[in-house]
């Protein structure tokens, strides 16, 4: 009767890379369950057997049971929803298959082991399958212990073989799949490790990012190990060729790679980020960069009758939406997409509203947006905040022209802008959507560096 499940990371196939802890765990297992994935992966089955032969003492008896892996549809052709559903169905089918096999074990077979390629924490479903099994038995009153033993993963071995750290000093590492790479990729992500890439997705990035350094590795930890390194556009053909030859030889290819932006695009602010900014104040209103903790101001400025009247959709924010919006502000600032500030009542420190400058297409242009919570309306806070932020935009952020607009009927908004020095430049017909599906005209204002007069500055 089963008592314990051990999920054991066995590295990339070389017994020398199995940790001491994993080796010790291997010698406690009565039955190893391994997924039988058919002919194509027979090299992997052999590598796994070699690990057991090398590390389990001869006097320890164990069995290896192959559990036929349920069939999985073609991932590449599915959209994300179909892909997620497909993977979930496949996991459920695996749980059923393992439960059946474990149910048929002999009485003395109490410790079951799962051998996991690399580390169980990286793109491997074994922990989820074991959780589901343990939960299923728990529901029937059977307690089964389980533990997870770490192994050396493909990204670690890739870095070791290329003799590099995976991250630059204090910078993040983004680990993703080939399926997601092209949608997600941006050099500001920093170092990006790609796994599960059947089609060498980085090829699609070579024109846009030719200088990005590619560190590629296949069959890592095996005698057939392959390594290629160099600027993406320069080494791509070589990787394609080496990969195709290897696939021909083995019938399958397992590769992992790192994309490292060239120095200068080090995944930090980049030239377009807004500069770091201290709070700006005129003694009555203070504006400072919006932070995650300001989410209630984001919510309260929006969730009131007056704001919702002018909103495009007329729908209040949930607390989660306000939290997410506030939490994104720092990243938007860093990327130079939007400088979002919170307005604070200088006397009490209470949050009074929000004001933002979003970069528009042509260089030097910013689109201003603002909103004040009901308790602070009618006190001139918007005008004061607009002056502070305009001065910052021209003097610190290097913008040349600020624009803003409001629905033609929203007269109060326009007055605040005019008092801050903005000039109405025209009426844009049926530009802004209303919750009922109609569209309102927009009155459009601008303030330029040249028309930002000393009087409005102070």
Residue closest to ligand SAM, measured at CB: 118
Size of the site for ligand SAM (CB under 6 A): 21
- The Cα 111–Cα 32 span in angstroms is 9
For the record, the structure tokens of 163 come out as 């003799």
Shortest separation between residue 56's beta carbon and ligand SAM, angstroms = 21
Rank residues 98 and 122 by Cβ distance to ligand SAM and give the closer one. 122
Q: Is 376 in the site for ligand SAM (CB under 6 A)?
A: no
Residue 304 buriedness (CB in 10 A; 0-12 / 13-18 / 19+): middle
Among 220, 236, 246, 420, interactor with ligand SAM by CB under 6 A: 220
Q: Does 215 bind ligand SAM (CB under 6 A)?
A: no
Tokens of 4: 């314990």
CB-side neighbour CA atoms (13 Å) of 184: 16
CA distance 458 to 454: 7
Choose one: 58-66, 118-126, 243-251, 449-457; the region binding ligand SAM (CB under 6 A).
118-126
Question: Rounded CA gap, 26 and 6, in Å?
Answer: 9
Closest CA to 97 of 58, 129, 143, 59: 129
Q: Of the ranges 92-100, 121-129, 390-398, 401-409, which one interacts with ligand SAM (CB under 6 A)? A: 121-129
Among 191, 213, 255, 403, interactor with ligand SAM by CB under 6 A: 255
Query: What is the C-alpha to C-alpha distance for residues 428 and 4, in angstroms, rounded to an integer?
Result: 70
Residue 14 within binding range of ligand SAM, rule CB under 6 A: no
Q: Quick one: tokens of 312? A: 């495009």
Q: Residue 351 pairs with which residues in a beta bridge?
A: 344
User: Interacting stretch for ligand SAM, rule CB under 6 A, among 50-58, 75-83, 130-138, 218-226?
Assistant: 218-226
Q: Could you say whether residue 117 binds ligand SAM (CB under 6 A)?
A: yes
Q: Which of 17, 153, 390, 413 binds ligand SAM (CB under 6 A)?
A: 153
Number of residues that make up the chain: 458
CB of residue 64 to ligand SAM, shortest distance in Å = 19
Cβ–Cβ < 8 Å for 36, 66: yes
Q: Residue 212 gets which letter from DSSP?
A: S
- Tokens standing for 424? 């109405």
Question: Which 175-214 positions form the footprint of ligand SAM (CB under 6 A)?
Answer: 195-196
Binding mask 222-241 for ligand SAM (x = CB under 6 A): x-------------------
Q: Which of 17, 256, 303, 413 binds ligand SAM (CB under 6 A)?
A: 256
Q: Which of 118, 267, 289, 405 binds ligand SAM (CB under 6 A)?
A: 118
298 touches ligand SAM (CB under 6 A) = no
For 184-248, what is the HEC assignment?
A: HCCHHHCEEEEECCCCCHHHHHCCCCCCCEEEEEECCCCCCCEEEEEEHHHHHHHHHHHHHHHHH
At residue 149's C-alpha, the angle toward residues 147 and 151, to 5°, is 155
Which of 107, 99, 105, 37 has the alpha carbon at shortest distance from 66? 37
- CA–CA dist 189, 249 (Å, integer): 35
Which among 24-32, 132-140, 234-242, 252-260 is the span making contact with ligand SAM, rule CB under 6 A?
252-260
3-state secondary structure of 401: strand
DSSP annotation string for 76-102: GGS-HHHHHHHHHHHHHHHHHHHHHHH
Minimum CB separation of residue 255 from ligand SAM in Å reads 5
* Residue 8 within binding range of ligand SAM, rule CB under 6 A: no
Q: Does 353 contact ligand SAM by CB under 6 A?
A: no
Smallest separation, CB 21 to ligand SAM (Å)? 16
Nearer to ligand SAM, 217 or 405 (CB): 217
124 sits near ligand SAM (criterion: CB under 6 A): yes
36: which strand partners? 68
Closer residue to ligand SAM, CB minimum distance, 87 or 196 = 196
Provide, rounded to whole angstroms, the least separation between the CB of residue 153 and ligand SAM.
3
- What 8-state DSSP symbol labels residue 372? E
Least distance in angstroms from the C-beta of 36 to ligand SAM? 16
The pair of structure tokens assigned to 440 is 């309102």
- Give dist(CA 315, CA 180) in Å, integer: 32
Per CB under 6 A, 119 contacts ligand SAM: yes
Q: Nearer Cβ to ligand SAM, position 10 or 112?
A: 10
Q: Is 114 in the site for ligand SAM (CB under 6 A)?
A: no
118 contacts 151 by C-beta, under 8 angstroms: yes
Residue 259 in contact with ligand SAM, rule: CB under 6 A: no
Q: Does 115 engage in binding with ligand SAM (CB under 6 A)?
A: no
Under a CB-based contact definition with an 8 Å cutoff, are residues 306 and 410 in contact? no
Interacting residue ranges for ligand SAM, rule: CB under 6 A: 12, 116-119, 122-124, 153-154, 195-196, 217-222, 254-256
């Amino acid at each position: 009767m089963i008592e314990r499940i051990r999920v054991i990371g066995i590295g990339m196939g070389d017994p020398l890379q199995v940790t001491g802890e994993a080796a010790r765990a291997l010698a406690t297992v009565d039955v190893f369950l391994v997924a039988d994935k058919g002919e194509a992966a027979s090299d992997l089955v052999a590598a796994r057997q070699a690990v057991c032969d090398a590390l389990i003492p001869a006097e320890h008896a164990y069995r290896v049971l192959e559990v036929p892996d349920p069939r999985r549809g073609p991932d590449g052709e599915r959209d994300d929803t179909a892909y997620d559903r497909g993977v979930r169905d496949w996991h459920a089918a695996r749980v059923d298959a393992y439960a059946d096999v474990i149910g048929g074990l002999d009485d003395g077979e109490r410790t079951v082991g799962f051998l996991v390629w690399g580390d169980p924490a990286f793109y491997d479903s074994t922990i989820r399958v074991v959780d589901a099994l343990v939960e299923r038995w728990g529901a029937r009153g059977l307690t089964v212990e389980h533990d997870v033993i770490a192994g050396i993963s493909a990204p670690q071995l890739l870095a070791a073989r290329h003799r590099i750290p995976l991250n630059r000093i204090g910078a993040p590492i983004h680990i993703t799949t080939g399926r997601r790479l092209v949608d997600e990729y941006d050099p500001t992500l920093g170092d990006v490790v790609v796994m599960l890439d059947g089609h060498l997705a980085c090829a699609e990035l070579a024109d846009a990012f030719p200088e990005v350094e590619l560190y590629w590795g296949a069959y890592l930890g095996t005698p057939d190990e392959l390594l290629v390194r160099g600027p993406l556009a320069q080494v791509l053909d070589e990787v394609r060729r080496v990969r195709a030859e290897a696939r021909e030889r083995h019938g399958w290819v397992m590769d992992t790679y790192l994309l490292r932006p060239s120095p200068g695009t080090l995944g930090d602010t980049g030239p377009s980020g807004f500069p770091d900014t201290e709070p700006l104040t005129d003694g009555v209103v203070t504006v400072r960069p919006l932070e995650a903790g300001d989410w209630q101001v984001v919510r309260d400025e929006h969730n009131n009758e007056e704001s919702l009247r002018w909103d495009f959709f007329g729908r209040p924010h949930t607390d989660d939406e306000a939290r997410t919006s506030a939490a994104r502000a720092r990243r938007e600032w860093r990327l130079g997409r939007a400088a979002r500030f919170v307005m604070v009542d200088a006397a009490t420190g209470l949050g009074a509203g929000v004001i933002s400058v979003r970069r528009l297409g042509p260089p030097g242009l910013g689109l201003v947006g603002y909103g004040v919570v009901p308790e602070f309306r009618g006190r001139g806070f918007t005008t004061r905040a607009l002056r502070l932020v305009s001065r910052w935009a021209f003097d610190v952020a290097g913008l040349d022209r600020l624009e803003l607009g409001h629905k033609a009927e929203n007269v109060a908004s326009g007055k605040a802008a005019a008092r801050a020095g903005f000039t109405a430049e025209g009426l844009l017909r049926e530009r802004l959507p209303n919750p009922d599906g109609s569209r309102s005209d927009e009155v459009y204002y601008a303030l330029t560096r040249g028309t930002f007069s000393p009087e409005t500055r102070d």
